[in-house]
Chains A and B, each alone.
Chain A
Amino acid sequence: ETGVTQSPTHLIKTRGQQVTLRCSSQSGHNTVSWYQQALGQGPQFIFQYYREEENGRGNFPPRFSGLQFPNYSSELNVNALELDDSALYLCASSLRFSEIANYGYTFGSGTRLTVV
């Protein structure tokens, strides 16, 4: 059984640029969520995808967008990067809602994004 894998592990971008982060969900998981973790804080929910549709969104602007593919892998895209976007971006996969209570979430190792 494979876990959640994220790529790249580190990334440096310039303010105003665009970035794409990638996530492969754990085998058997059909739901992918993305979180942003600023230094010294807990992760904050960005959005979630289930069966290729956005299934919920946190308090993030539209320049944060995503995709989920038929194999349940996912991308997070951020346009017009700002300095405050510098953070660790975490991907989490899970089973569908009715099974979350029993099995919880599996997180990847994250992508460290630095905007300069």
Chain B
Amino acid sequence: KQEVTQIPAALSVPEGENLVLNCSFTDSAIYNLQWFRQDPGKGLTSLLLIQSSQREQTSGRLNASLDKSSGRSTLYIAASQPGDSATYLCAVGPWGGYNKLIFGAGTRLAVHP
């Protein structure tokens, strides 16, 4: 059974800090790992997708790494801004023989000026 855990559950930092959000999964037989951003009460916005054969992906100030053998992924946010405040979710998939994503509970990030 695949389980996804995200640490920390919540994070509050001053503007400008570099951040690392952690995601771990129990079964390394994944096809990809996707990081999403969710603003309060809103849907999910895809940030980065890392295929199982890849080690990392970058988009602007965001960098995500994947270590399948250890069951870990990290999302690195450089020079954080108040606009980065949101919940960040990681998900592994597809799982269960069809297109199912398994999500962590998320990290709630607050960046204050």
> Which A residues are within 8 Å of any B CB, using their own CB?
6, 31, 33, 35, 40-45, 48, 50, 55-56, 58, 88, 90, 92, 94, 97, 100-110, 112
Complex Cα–Cα for A92 and B100 (A): 10
Indicate whether A55 sits within 8 Å of B98 (C-beta atoms), given known contacts A100-B31, A104-B49, A106-B46.
yes
Q: Which residues of B contact A42 (CB under 8 A)?
A: 4, 89, 91, 103-106
Indicate whether A109 sits within 8 Å of B42 (C-beta atoms), given known contacts A56-B98, A97-B98.
yes
14 extra A-B contacts, CB within 8 A, seeds A42-B103, A100-B94, A103-B49: A43-B44, A45-B101, A48-B98, A48-B99, A48-B100, A55-B98, A56-B96, A100-B32, A105-B46, A105-B93, A106-B46, A107-B36, A110-B42, A110-B43
B81 in contact (CB, < 8 A): no
Contact A56 B43 (CB under 8 A): no
Q: How many residues of B contact A (CB 8 A)?
A: 29
Indicate whether A40 sits within 8 Å of B46 (C-beta atoms), given known contacts A55-B99, A56-B97, A97-B99.
no
- CB-CB nearest in chain B for A101: B31
Could you say which of A48, A56, A105, A107 has the most chain B C-beta atoms within 10 Å of its C-beta? Answer: A105
Question: Dominant SS at the B interface?
Answer: strand
Shortest Cβ distance from residue B97 to the other chain A in the assembled complex, whole angstroms = 7
B52 in contact (CB, < 8 A): yes
Q: Which residues of A contact B102 (CB under 8 A)?
A: 45
- CB-CB nearest in chain B for A45: B100
Complex Cα–Cα for A104 and B47 (A): 11
Q: Which residues of B contact A102 (CB under 8 A)?
A: 51
Nearest first, the 4 closest Cβ-Cβ pairs linking A and B are A42-B103, A56-B98, A109-B43, A107-B44
Contact B101 A105 (CB under 8 A): yes
Contact A33 B51 (CB under 8 A): no
Complex Cα–Cα for A101 and B32 (A): 6
Contact A40 B105 (CB under 8 A): yes
Contact B52 A101 (CB under 8 A): yes
Contact A101 B106 (CB under 8 A): no
